[in-house]
Amino acid sequence: MRYAGLTDEPKRIKQEHGNPRNFGIIQQFRTEAEAKLWVSRMLARGYEKDTMGKGWKYGYTFSS
């Protein structure tokens, strides 16, 4: 499964998911609106939404 999410704490999220090798920060955002648009596009591409993150500054993906 592929996941996409938003967070202000990417290191914590990566650790909480068991440090997946393919965890990556895909984009840093200036506004919450940009971040939400990015998540919408990722979901349209078949990603599942990861809800562990708090905040919206960084968009990340990983698969399990």
- Indicate the domain borders of the chain: 2-63
Task: Tell me, yes or no, if the pTM score tops 0.85.
Answer: yes
HSE (CB half, 13 Å, CA atoms) of 38? 22
| Cα-trace Rg, the chain | 11
pLDDT score for 53: 93
Q: Which residue has the tokens 């971040």?
A: 35
Residue 10 has a pLDDT of 97
Tokens matching residue 40: 């919408």
Rounded Cα gap, residues 63 and 31, in angstroms: 26
Query: d(Cα 61, Cα 6) in Å, to the nearest integer?
Result: 9
Element (H, E) at 55: none
pLDDT tens readout for residues 11-35: 999 999 999 999 999 999 999 999 9
Give the pLDDT score at 21: 96
